[in-house]
Structure 1
């Protein structure tokens, strides 16, 4: 990688963020595609967010990625957000283009790009949890015309989630239902009707927790995905594998959401196969 007077910056902005592997992904992509760019991690306080966003213009940057807690807070500082980002209510990628700051959300795109030979169009998705990653996946599934989206979340979150997904349902015409995760008999019934099962909760990052009861059963045709990538195989994916189901972890979502951002910034395709091999070696 060369650094000179023509090098353009990109960054990921969050707090905390020093642990991020996004610099590893993007700097490898800059080098592999011979784009004169560099990617860094900026850990900032919320009071500095507005100035940080203005620095994109000041320093003629490609743009920035955002992680928690700034995916929603950044929106007022942007000139425009895409329909998908508006539906989700969160931005994870800002692109500096012709003097304007454009907000995108590539999380949902990244998730569906990571699924092997699977199209959500006309299919039923059941998702556990509806936080930031979950809402991005829900909105993208609706935009891709899923037949039905079924959400199971904690009772304490039911009203918030129902309100949040109503706009998505109204704008896309896709049926979205929200149920309490504590209702295991209903969850079991819906599990046997779904084509894609997704865990978007953080349960499993400790290598021990499950987001649902291990006594529940799946049908063999259901594709099972987790947004978590460390550990490489979560207890949730292990539970699904024991039943003979195909599984996908969250590493692909991380890579492909980054790839979408890289393409928006540079107009070039990220060498995802090459980077995937490096990530797999690092996290398996």
Structure 2
């Protein structure tokens, strides 16, 4: 039940009407019996949205495409890790002060660490956009040996230099890199896209393969990796683990991760 005391949280992105994020958080709120509710918004201007978070006393908000960088000037404080990554996906309203964090790297790194230690592991990150930057940053912090593979050599080289990691070449070059772990942080695989960004040979020596794509849950990329014998991690796990960070910031309570995971899986299941 929504009351006059209900704390509001928001998901800000465009497009955003099919996001499972409110379902995930609301399931967690219900499980703990806290008076919070999560809603999805498609703001036309992120600055105005942040003013609303402050003036309407939202508990906080999560931010996704295309606002992870453009939201930064409208915040009062940026966590050092988010500043180093250059992107914010969690905004916590602390008594009218909006503080930005990045939990994308947490979701990705913890999801992989559930299947083994990352220290000294050879990890190939496909892509050089905002998600790839956050994930690669977290991998470096975890002691992994990271190589970036990207369609644009200029963008891939720039990101690699910025993070102090290896630029491995094009996506096709991942086929000969002998990575222990491969993480797809490109846009391939979203929706009805059946393209797989790397050759099958990329999975020959790989023990864990992750895709940040949420829909479909098992992307063509993961399906090919599974056929090669790799352990696969879908984008839902990363979504839930980075969401747990936001949940705990907003409520001050431990996130019921299993409840949140089950809610997302159910929401994404075919009817």
- TM-score norm. by structure 2 comes to 0.91
- After TM superposition, give the deviation of residue 233 of structure 1 in Å: 1.5
Residue of structure 1 in register with 2:21 after alignment: 22
Q: Secondary structure at the match of 2:200?
A: coil
SS at match of 1:17: coil
Structure 1 equivalent of residue 161 of structure 2: 166
Are 2:259 and 1:274 equivalent residues in the alignment? Answer: yes
Aligned to 1:10: 9
Quote the Cα distance in structure 1 between the aligned partners of 2:203 and 2:143: 27
- Rounded Cα–Cα distance in structure 2 between residues aligned with 1:52 and 1:20: 18
Residue segments in structure 1 that go unaligned for 5+ positions in a row: 170-175
- In the aligned structure 2, how far is the partner of 1:105 from the partner of 1:254? 13
2 CA distance for matches of 1:14 and 1:247?
27
1:78 is displaced (CA, Å) by 1.0
Aligned to 1:133: 131
Alignment partner of 2:200 out of 200, 204, 214: 214
The question of whether the paired residues in 1 share the 8 Å contact of 2:183 and 2:210 is answered with yes
**d(CA) in 1 for partners of 2:202 and 2:53?**
49
Q: CA deviation digits over 1:100-120, x for unaligned, max 9?
A: 211001111011222333232
Deviating runs (4+, > 4 A) in structure 1?
A: none
Unaligned runs of 5+ in 2: none
What are the Cα deviations for residues 23-58 of structure 1, in whole angstroms up to 9, with x where unaligned? 111111111112211111111113xx2222122221
Partner residue, 2:234: 249
Superposed counterparts of 1:188-207, under 5 Å? 188-190=175-177, 192=178, 194-205=179-190, 206=192
1-side partners of 2:267 and 2:51: how far apart? 35
Residue 70 (structure 1) aligned with residue 56 (structure 2): no
Once the two structures are superposed, what CA deviation does each residue of 1:161-208 show, in whole Å capped at 9, x if it has no partner?
A: 332343332xxxxxx1113316x4x43331x2x221111112123252
Alpha-carbon deviation of 1:67?
Answer: 0.9
Distance 2:42 2:162 in 1: 32
1:126–1:197 contact (8 Å) kept in structure 2? yes
- Work out the CA distance in 1 between the residues paired with 2:148 and 2:105: 16
State the Cα RMSD in Å.
Answer: 1.8
Q: Distance in 1 between matches of 2:121 and 2:169?
A: 22
Q: Distance in 2 between matches of 1:36 and 1:44?
A: 24
**1:81-160 mapped onto 2 (5 Å cutoff):** 81-115=78-112, 116-146=114-144, 148-154=145-151, 157-160=152-155
TM-superposition CA deviations, 1:219-259 (whole Å, max 9, x none): 1x521111112212112112111121111111101111111
Count of residues in Structure 1 that have an aligned counterpart in Structure 2: 267
2:50 matched to which residue of 1?
Answer: 53
Check conservation: 1:14, 1:69, Cα contact below 8 A. yes
d(CA) in 1 for partners of 2:12 and 2:262? 26
